[in-house]
Amino acid sequence: MFPSLASSTPLFILSSPASPPTSIAQFLPPPPVSCPSSLSRRRVIPGPNPHPLLSLPSHSTTFPRHLIRCSSMSVSESTSTTTQLRDSLLYSRAYWVSESTIAWNVDVGDDSCYLFASKSATLSFTDDKVRGEDVKIKLEEDSEGLPENVTEKFPHIQDYLAFKVPPGLDTKTLLKCQLAVAALNSDGKCTNATGLQLPGVLDELFSYNGPLGALFFEESVLLYLWAPTAQAVRACIYRDPSGGDPLEIVQLEEVNGVWSTEGPKRWEGCYYVYEVSVYHPCTLRVEKCHANDPYARGRLSSDGKRTFLVNFDSDRLKPEGWDNLANEKPEIHSFSDISIYELHIRDFSANDHTVPPEFRGCYLAFTLQGSSGVLHLKKLSDAGITHVHLLPTFQFAGVDDEKENWKCVDTKILEQLPPDSDEQQALITAIQNDDGYNWGYNPVLWGVPKGSYASNPNGPCRIIEFRKMIQALNRIGLRVVLDVVYNHLQGSGPFDDNSVLDKIVPGYYLRRNTDGFIEHSTCMNNTASEHVMVERLILDDLLHWAIHHKVDGFRFDLMGHIMKSTMVKAKDALHSLTKERDGIDGSSIYIYGEGWDFGEVAKNGRGVNASQFNLGGTGIGSFNDRIRDAILGGSPFGHPLQQGFATGLLLQPNGHDQGTEAVSECMLAVAKDHIQVGMAANLRDFVITSYQGEEVKGSEVLTHDGTPVAYALCSTETVNYVSAHDNETLFDIVSLKTPKEISVDERCRINHLATGVIALSQGIPFFHSGDEILRSKSLDRDSYNSGDWFNRLDFTYNSNNWGVGLPPKEKNEKNWPLIKPRLADPSFKPQRVHILAAVDNFLNLLRIRYSSPLFRLRTANAIQERVHFHNTGPSGAPGVIVMSIQDGHEGVPGLSQLDPTYSYIVVIINACPTKVSFACPALRTRTLKLHPVQAMSTDELVKSSTYEASSGCLAVPPRTTVVFVEPREV
């Protein structure tokens, strides 16, 4: 309740009416009357807002889009005070951080600070006065500053001044208003003002653990929506996915920020839309926002505008044997046994003519046991791959769910064009936003399977078919990882069709900068997992996918933009799931992601984030970009011709200026150190002999900018990779960085070499689909929207998709001068024999990895004790890595015995273009033999490798990875 006006110092002043209210609720418009069930009743369409819009720039009648996107907006110094005040509510530079505290980075001097509220959003500034308020509350500066719990949650405002909010206010009702703070001088003139950011106080007052979304009971359906700032919420119930009038329009009732209603059982199978009346800071108005349920689970209508009411426990949604799937899943004894194959659902079958046309690019393609793609996955599974990582499968923007709306290009026309032509990309990009292709990193609703991958986006098909896909993959020995994108959302604001969360609780779910505008460091609409109910939505969503779809792991896009505490809670929540209670063994669910540290979250700018260096000890994996860059050279953001360990640095220059020979020699030696640390699972405390001859820990080996190479405390915190869906494919990057005059046979061997480093390293190996078949995207560095043409996979092994035209102009044009001559040269294109050899090589690498537990050591201590690197220090042969893994002997003190077959393993990686021979004293008198898998290989070069026990001399062919083993005595 509000304090009494009898207070000696007025804490608030009413502008209208003159008499004090008992509650601000008397200023609210009456709630809409519930509409009776009637087929003739039309859906209410929001009309013009009756309240005048605050003075905005004359060119726009809505909040300027460039301001919404801007991450660091400020008022021009040349604008007048009047203009600054007029525009001040465009900004939200103050924070209501707790019920008793508002933070504002302002020097009020002798002025007084006030909080203003208007339920109808009519705040404005005229003649330097605040106008249109319903309530005016005086704030006092708190000399103690912001409390520790506030600065811990909001470290980016730790130096702001703290202003006390007087006790006794009806704060919960105030939060439904347009709010501003202003500094007034002794004459009552406003000298500074701004809007407020509310997540802190919303978390304190409205954090909620109860039911959300749709709940189904024997006789009823219940709806729950968390929307504490909403003034009214209605649910429009529809029979059909599109068109028609609502069956009912039901007013929800609010209790402490949660709106709910109970409906009849007949609602099940219907569709609904929420109509939320709420103040939106993007327009400075009270808007009627029409939105899907943030907790939508089953599906949407095909146009994405209505939520389907579906009960996941219904037997009609379960494929045969679904309830027993947890008992059929391939076993995982330890996370260290995992290896991951990254795959896009559409890529998998869109070009597979062994798949019926209606299944191509869809969930059901994975259920066809005799297709080329499934047969290929079976080979990978039999050789050792344990997990398939599927690029986003949730509801994302950019692809219409109705296939009849797609546009396409006649491939016969594309096939007739020259390999270096710019016509293919022109034809593809002309329809790229209207075709069936997108990677999917533009989320609309996290918990709904994408409709475009279903045979029918309406009805229950997408649920049933998604489940059939999971079941089919599990039954061929592959667990399934979902790519989740909780760091950003496609839509924002009250009118965007792709906006959901920002319509329900505006300004809460999306992270904002200190001016109040949405952060876009992730490319779009960053989310804020540091806010309680954002974190809860993420955790609930993960549990939904695990329980209702029985998925086996999660890969987090831009995980560093999520708080570490959220990730730890996610892991704990998933691991707490049991077969008996939840139908899934949560302890076997592995989570990992991109631990990049950049943007507003860098260096813990918004709290301790889930970046590489913060995750040590959590058991959560993160991608190791160090080993990727060392193997290939440079980085995805550097010059594309920068060479690395495998691509010819020093040993076979490509003509690009890499520096002097001495510089190149040093760079190659540094790259070798980085790779060795990575092969030891990138452990912080693993000790190597550096190229300078010093004994150093992995954390003491530094990148070019002084960042430690190693960050992990256990092996499963490192996901080693050399390529992924981002950037060029492995074969493409090799074709760019190596000298133009080398043969395609040599490029293929370099491709093999790079995958070999990853396959035989400690930690989790990760492979981009197509690495094993020399996949090309015609040198496209970012094929997220490049259509099926540039993203084609051919599991018949007839083509690797090289030379299908210059890649799309938007992301590649500056490199066209480098790309064009390579695509035009027919000698760059691999033949079927090369692709078949690549498949054999990859399968053999996997077989070797899984032939011994020594390649998959489970603890940091085991790696430190058993893994050693030779050929190190200043005298080490350049371009050659020698790693040994030692096992113990049963009954012999020292190391325990892990491998019943081999007591000692040696891996030699020769990146040189020539054969190398060198003696390794530590390997003398060993009874080493070429690994039986390689001894039976079709690769004649690898079979020519030799070892001489008396001298410890090794001879390894060019660009070859060789594995020698010491068999135990029988």
Token representation of residue 884:
């040994």
Which of the following is catalytic: 337, 502, 515, 594?
A: 594
Instruction: Spell out where 306-423 has E strands.
Output: 307-308, 340-343, 387-390, 394-396
Strand pairing report for 258-264 and 479-484: unpaired
Does residue 666 contact residue 846 with C-beta atoms inside 8 Å? no
| List of residues 6+ apart from 96 with CB closer than 8 A | 102, 165, 175, 179, 196, 197, 198, 200, 201
Torsion of CA 164, 166, 171, 174, to 10 degrees: -90
| List of residues 6+ apart from 777 with CB closer than 8 A | 728, 729, 732, 783, 786, 790, 791, 801, 807
Give the separation between CA 902 and CA 116, rounded to whole angstroms: 76
Taking the mean position of all CA atoms in its chain, how far away is CA 562?
A: 10
Does residue 270 contact residue 221 with C-beta atoms inside 8 Å? no
Token representation of residue 721:
């990779």
Give the separation between CA 381 and CA 325, rounded to whole angstroms: 18
Token representation of residue 504:
């329900």
Give the separation between CA 931 and CA 960, rounded to whole angstroms: 14
3-state secondary structure of 23: coil
Give buried/exposed letters for 350-381 (b at 16+ CB in 10 A, else e). bbbebbeeebbbbbbbbbbeebbbbebbebbb
3-state secondary structure of 687: strand
Give the separation between CA 562 and CA 610, rounded to whole angstroms: 6
Give the separation between CA 885 and CA 863, rounded to whole angstroms: 8
3-state secondary structure of 385: coil
Cα distances from 928 to residues 844, 849, 854, 924, 968, in angstroms, run 19, 17, 16, 10, 10
320 among known catalytic residues: no
Does residue 790 contact residue 682 with C-beta atoms inside 8 Å? no
Cα distances from 719 to residues 241, 389, 624, 885, 970, in angstroms, run 42, 13, 6, 20, 36
Token representation of residue 371:
């297709």
For the chain, the distance separating the N- and C-terminal CA atoms, rounded to the nearest angstrom, is 84
331 among known catalytic residues: no
Give the separation between CA 465 and CA 455, rounded to whole angstroms: 8
Between vectors from CA 39 to CA 33 and to CA 45, what angle results, nearest 5°?
A: 55
Give the separation between CA 351 and CA 619, rounded to whole angstroms: 38
Judge if the upstream peptide bond of residue 17 is cis by omega within 30 degrees of 0. Answer: yes
Q: Which residue has the tokens 């905005």?
A: 56
Residue 356 DSSP code: -
Give the separation between CA 537 and CA 161, rounded to whole angstroms: 31
Length of the chain: 970
Which of the following is catalytic: 502, 557, 673, 782?
A: 557
Give the separation between CA 881 and CA 912, rounded to whole angstroms: 11
Give the separation between CA 414 and CA 696, rounded to whole angstroms: 54
Q: Which of 98, 105, 91, 81 is nearest to 171 (CA)?
A: 98
Give alpha helix (H) positions in 562-701.
564-575, 579-582, 625-632, 661-679
Which residues are the active-site residues? 557, 594
